[in-house]
């Protein structure tokens, strides 16, 4: 069945500006996001060398002594190092009572100037990144994030057309998008033992997530039938999915599909998800084509900061020592 297989979308014709490619690709996108919630993209324009360089930097970061990594421990902006078993997915609607996740991660957001008004005012999620003392690390990561941001800005035009909106509908919303680059390390494990996962079943918060091509499998998704299927390793293909913000924008027309990660490879696994959302001051509300007299909005209007503050408070133990002690 088509709805039990993650579709592959070729971005090449659209990115090349071929006639009719935008709407054709948007139709494929709509099918993927209404039926499965995940898809692969090929011919995306991100150079293999840049992807390889990012995996190398993730490995280099996590191979440091834990004391060095803890010098950059996750802060209130959600930048920095999340230690092994540092978060527990309490907000998951698909898995109750899981243990802390068996992974560690390093988070980077947009690189901000020290004199930016949001930095000076201490605005949450708009702080300075904290960089390890690894030559070349910062430049490689910032360059990759810039590439990913540009790709997202092209892709949201497909999302607009998939929603029967003008192609430029999301352009302003994503002119200065919020993003989070997560450089994750999963140690090997035999499987989910006593509800322990590399990453427990959950849905993302994002408008869209792009997971870098990975030769080491570990991702599984739950289809609409309730079956769990493994995401295959497809050469140089990103895995893309929507999250809770996309649900809010589309009044649940587009899916936020549950997924999980278990590293059964027998070796180390690194993963590079890039979570992207609209700008921090952009209201998150259902678009006009998804609401009507018989389709009232299912969610109240919200903003990135409010939603993420709630989410992190519930799930990130290292940011909530008081809550951790209480539980």
The domain that holds 127 is classified in CATH as 2.60.120.330
Burial bucket for residue 311 (CB in 10 Å: 0-12, 13-18, 19+): middle
Structural domain containing residue 10: 2-326
Averaged pLDDT, 257-282: 92
How many domains in the chain?
A: 1
Q: Which residues of 183-215 are buried (b: 16+ CB within 10 A; e: fewer)?
A: bbbbeebeebeeebbbbbbbbbbbbbbbbbbbe
- Contacts of residues 3-6 at CB distance under 8 Å and 24 or more positions apart, as own/partner, are 3/35, 3/36, 3/223, 3/224, 3/225, 4/223, 4/225, 4/227, 4/229, 5/36, 5/229, 6/36, 6/38, 6/39, 6/40, 6/221, 6/229, 6/231, 6/232, 6/239
| 316: pLDDT strictly greater than 80 | no
- pLDDT at residue 95 is higher than 60: no
Nearest in space to 187 (alpha carbons), one of 48, 319, 83, 31: 83
pLDDT above 70: residue 315 = no
- Whether the predicted pLDDT of 324 surpasses 50: no
Using the predicted structure, report yes or no on whether residue 111 has a pLDDT greater than 70.
Answer: yes
pLDDT for 320 equals: 55
- For residue 225, the tally of other CB atoms under 10 A from its CB is 9
Say whether pLDDT at 251 is over 90.
yes
Whether the per-residue pLDDT at 313 is higher than 90: the answer is no
The whole-number average pLDDT for the span 34-48 is 97
Query: Which pTM was predicted?
Result: 0.92
Q: What is residue 198's predicted lDDT score, i.e. its pLDDT?
A: 72
């Amino acid at each position: 069945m088509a709805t039990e297989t993650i579709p592959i979308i070729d971005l090449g014709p659209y990115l090349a500006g071929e006639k009719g490619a935008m709407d054709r690709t948007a139709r494929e996108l709509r099918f993927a996001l209404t039926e499965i919630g995940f898809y692969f993209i090929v011919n995306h324009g991100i150079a293999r060398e840049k992807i390889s360089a990012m995996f190398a930097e993730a490995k280099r970061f996590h191979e440091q002594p834990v004391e060095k990594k803890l010098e950059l421990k996750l802060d209130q902006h959600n930048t920095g190092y999340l230690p092994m078993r540092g978060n527990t997915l309490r907000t998951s609607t698909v898995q109750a009572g899981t243990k802390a996740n068996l992974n560690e991660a390093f988070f980077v957001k947009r690189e901000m100037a020290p004199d930016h008004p949001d930095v000076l005012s201490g605005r949450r999620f708009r702080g300075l990144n904290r960089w390890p003392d690894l030559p070349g690390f910062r430049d490689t990561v910032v360059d990759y994030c810039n590439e990913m941001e540009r790709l997202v800005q092209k892709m949201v035009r497909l999302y607009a057309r998939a929603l029967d909106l003008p192609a430029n509908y999301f352009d302003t919303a994503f002119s200065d998008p919020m993003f989070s680059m997560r450089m994750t390390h999963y140690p090997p494990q035999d499987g989910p033992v006593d509800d322990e996962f590399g990453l427990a079943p959950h849905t993302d918060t994002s408008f869209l997530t792009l997971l870098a091509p990975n030769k080491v499998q570990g991702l599984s998704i739950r289809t609409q039938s309730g079956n769990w299927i493994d995401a295959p390793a497809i050469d140089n293909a990103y895995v893309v999915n929507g999250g809770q913000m996309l649900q809010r924008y589309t009044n649940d027309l587009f899916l936020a599909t549950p997924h999980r990660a278990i590293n059964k490879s027998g070796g180390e696994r690194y993963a590079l998800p890039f979570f992207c959302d609209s700008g921090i001051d952009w209201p998150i509300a259902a678009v006009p084509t998804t609401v009507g007299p018989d389709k009232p909005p299912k969610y109240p209007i919200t903003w990135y900061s409010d939603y993420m503050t709630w989410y992190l408070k519930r799930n990130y133990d290292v940011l909530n020592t008081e809550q951790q002690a209480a539980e």
